[in-house]
Structure 1
Amino acid sequence: MTTHVPVDVRRPAADEQKLPLLALLALATAVFITSLTETLPAGLLPAMSTDLHVSESATGQTVTIYAIGTALTAIPLTAATAAWRRKRLLLTAMAGFAVANTVTAVSTSYSLTMAARFVAGVAAGLAWALLAGYARRMAPAHLQGRAMAISMAGIPVALSLGVPAGTFLGKALSWQTAFLAMTGLTVVLLGWIAAAVPDHPGQRQSDSPPMLRALRVPGVTPVLFVTLVLVLAHTILYTFIATFLDEVGMGGSTDLVLLAFGIASLVSIWVVGAQINRRLRTLMIVNTLLIAVAAAALALLSDSQVLVYAAVTLWGLGWGGAPTLLQTAVADAGGDSADAAQAMLVTSWNGAMAGGGVVGGILLDLLGSRSFPWSVLVFLAPVLVVVLAARTHGFPAKRAGTAP
């Protein structure tokens, strides 16, 4: 993890006005690869399950095992590599993706595929604990929120372009081609990082606050709870979106539906990047409500293709900015313990991803895919309650250190 830099309200000097866009875009591409590697099976489940000779619910666990790899290793690996130079650590993590995606593409064994996906999750644990803090360190204090928004833009781009493109490649050529394309992009990114991303030193082990100390900081626990439950709700539906669309007669439109979701996510992250310094709490409330309205529409109105597209658009508008909002909230709340708080957020996020895959698979087998939107509504209720209650710490009405 990198060192937390508190918000500074001094007037910036002229040479501090600009962001290192080329370097931030490299980080955004790393986020893109991390996100797309995790979610790519969502658009490829039927083809993957056929070739691997397992059910679609079993194939959905390729998302689960990835998330388990991240959840189990993010905290211990972050501590073990705390003294590493940041660029070296980022290059190592991205090389892990290249290896794991290549093995996934050439594997004909479900067991080997699951092992490769676990390795990819381990690489993600390193990357996620590093990327948000890396972006903050490259920007002056008054532009840190915008720097994080740029780097996190890789998530909605992965959803708006990556997953639909991967789904298209899977249909036109093969699902293996989609994973090999990820390997090629990762190799290009390794050169880009080496050339354009500034290096930063690691930190002494003694600089990393204990996890229990971070949990005692007011505001950290509410943000971690919201992260866990919100991501769980989202993952249940997103992992099995192709299966849900098959059920409502839109199986042939999975790539277009994901495109609509992703474009809306891009709009969301743009709005969040522009408004997060002053309206983090409001944005978190509004985004949660948008996802709830979308889930209700999918539960009640999925017989209309137009309304499905409208619901998915609202879902994207609510979801796209969530990573930036939650990472900023936990960094603000953590203060001197921000490094430990970020590592726990990564673990909570990916624990929820793992749980979402498992819960979704159980729901699919017991109740069918139409139960997914209802489950989202059930989980969002406590999320909204906690966000509303965390007015002083966690999701404050006014961020500390911001100008009035």
Structure 2
Amino acid sequence: MSTVAAAGRSTGPAAMPWPGLMALFTAAFTAVMTELLPAGLLPPMGGALDVPEGRIGFLVTGYAAASFAAAIPVTAALRGLSRRPVLIGALLGFAVCNAVTAASSSYPLTFAARLLAGVMGGTLWAMLVGYAARMVPAERRGRAIAVVLAGITVALSLGIPAGTAVASALGWRAAFGLLAALGIVLAAWTRWKVPNFPGEPPAERTPLGRIAALPGILAVLSVTLLLLLGHQAMYTYVAPFTERTGFGRTGLVLLVFGLSTVAGIWLTGVLIDRFLRATLVGALLLLAAAMLVLGLAGDVPAVLPAAVAVWGVAFGGAPTLIQTALVNASGPADADVATSMQTTVYNAGIAGGSLLGGVLLEGAGPGVLPWAALPLVAASLAVVVAARRHAFP
């Protein structure tokens, strides 16, 4: 009996394969931790590697750039291989890169390890959503994707603060060492509990251009780009925006946002399989309302955390809703390639939004940031409303 057949038989028509889905959840958690942990460790890493803190920040930039560049070509090159070995290879790649980072005293070596980790990240993100979709019946697809992508939210809201705390107590090298160990354990867990799926024979592979031209794909990618541009323009510069209000507790604001995203992704998991379009429209309306309130009254200390909480609930579920729509438009068989395109667009949105916010911050001050985010969020909502037939039925 093949592994796929066994997985399908044991899963049944309505069951959720929790051990396998939780392995994918942990893979998403590990990828986010690997990408963003240096941002919380700028002073100690800079001192140990004898470089300014800004160059430690480039470790995050290098990772994102490598992920952006690698997602589509690496995914296309690996389409013919069985899926589980590729997934395990990416997880072991994370383990090696984090181990090198933990041991390295050379900035060039550390930067090279981060570039390789970015390639692993681009490969992993292109696989996770499609993998989750193939592990469950179609009527459970949205919930399975929500479970896996919750790893992102947990990493942002709990993992990064915990990693920073470990680094404060035991040193930053210990934090990366623990991530390396987690990658090895996770690879074994994946081998044990995650089913294998065959690669695509050359004769059956849909060309990349044809996948991009499938009805609904362009609309979903457009919503992804517009949403990330607006969100990131505001989120990257929450600290200066918070300081202008006199609220003065950026850490608390970020904690409110992180906890609210957990609530948002939980709510999305409940609604997504029955009301994907309505839930996404509601989330984007809430997000637009939060930006409007921040623009009008964000300098009122009592209003700021409440508006940020609404923002977090709205944004927490939006990526899951959009990625589920993408898988529905492409079909699970072509989901890896479609998701690799979305990974590229996602990173472009992060980079573009951060750049836009930085330019506006320098030129007009933090008060203008919500007004820059609002039309981008509104544009993403307009695309969702217009693309009713194929992208968001």
TM-score (norm 2): 0.85
Question: Partners in 1 of 2:57 and 2:234 — Cα distance?
Answer: 11
Change (3 A) 1:27 1:356: same
Does structure 2 conserve the Cα–Cα contact (< 8 Å) formed by 1:70 and 1:121?
yes
Q: 1:187 aligns with which of 184, 187, 193?
A: 184
Aligned to 2:326: 330
Does structure 1 conserve the Cα–Cα contact (< 8 Å) formed by 2:75 and 2:336?
no
Q: Deviations over 1:223-259 (max 9, x none)?
A: 00111121222233334445554565666552x4333
Q: Deviations over 1:76-132 (max 9, x none)?
A: 111111122212111111122223334444556665544333222211111111111
Does structure 2 conserve the Cα–Cα contact (< 8 Å) formed by 1:233 and 1:356?
yes
Per-residue deviation, 1:205: 3.0
Q: 1:160 aligns with which of 157, 160, 163?
A: 157
Q: 2:75 aligns with which of 55, 78, 83?
A: 78
**Counterpart of 1:150 in structure 2: which amino acid?**
V
Aligned to 1:293: 289
**Counterpart of 1:320 in 2: which secondary structure?**
helix
Does structure 1 conserve the Cα–Cα contact (< 8 Å) formed by 2:287 and 2:311?
yes
Does structure 2 conserve the Cα–Cα contact (< 8 Å) formed by 1:42 and 1:242?
no
Aligned to 2:306: 310
Aligned to 1:5: none
Q: Report 1:341-360 matches (<5 A).
A: 341-360=338-357
Change (3 A) 1:132 1:171: same
Aligned to 2:276: 280
Does structure 1 conserve the Cα–Cα contact (< 8 Å) formed by 2:272 and 2:321?
yes
Change (3 A) 1:190 1:338: closer
Question: Partners in 1 of 2:101 and 2:84 — Cα distance?
Answer: 26
Q: Deviations over 1:188-241 (max 9, x none)?
A: 222221222222222213333222212322211110011112122223333444
Per-residue deviation, 1:367: 4.7
Q: Which runs of 5+ in 2 are unaligned?
A: 1-8
**Counterpart of 2:199 in 1: which secondary structure?**
coil
Change (3 A) 1:193 1:337: closer
**Counterpart of 1:76 in structure 2: which amino acid?**
P
Aligned to 2:117: 120
Matched, 1:204 2:205: no
Change (3 A) 1:126 1:310: same
Question: Partners in 2 of 1:245 and 1:49 — Cα distance?
Answer: 27
**Counterpart of 1:324 in structure 2: which amino acid?**
T
Per-residue deviation, 1:370: 4.8
Does structure 1 conserve the Cα–Cα contact (< 8 Å) formed by 2:141 and 2:324?
no
The more displaced of 98-107 and 383-392 is: 98-107
Change (3 A) 1:153 1:375: same
Question: Partners in 2 of 1:156 and 1:305 — Cα distance?
Answer: 26
Aligned to 1:237: 234
Aligned to 1:8: none
Change (3 A) 1:169 1:241: farther
Change (3 A) 1:375 1:103: farther
Per-residue deviation, 1:365: 4.7
Aligned to 1:213: 210
Aligned to 2:62: 65
Q: 1:258 aligns with which of 229, 250, 254?
A: 254
Question: Partners in 2 of 1:295 and 1:108 — Cα distance?
Answer: 43
**Counterpart of 2:86 in 1: which secondary structure?**
helix
Change (3 A) 1:341 1:374: same
Q: Which runs of 5+ in 1 are unaligned?
A: 1-11, 397-404
TM-score (norm 1): 0.83
Does structure 2 conserve the Cα–Cα contact (< 8 Å) formed by 1:60 and 1:361?
no
Q: CA RMSD in A?
A: 3.1
Change (3 A) 1:177 1:371: farther
Question: Partners in 1 of 2:174 and 2:358 — Cα distance?
Answer: 26
Per-residue deviation, 1:386: 1.2
Aligned to 1:400: none
**Counterpart of 1:16 in 2: which secondary structure?**
coil
Q: Report 1:98-177 matches (<5 A).
A: 98-106=95-103, 111-169=108-166, 175-177=172-174
Aligned to 1:269: 265
Per-residue deviation, 1:181: 3.5
**Counterpart of 1:230 in 2: which secondary structure?**
helix
Does structure 2 conserve the Cα–Cα contact (< 8 Å) formed by 1:26 and 1:197?
yes
**Counterpart of 1:311 in structure 2: which amino acid?**
A
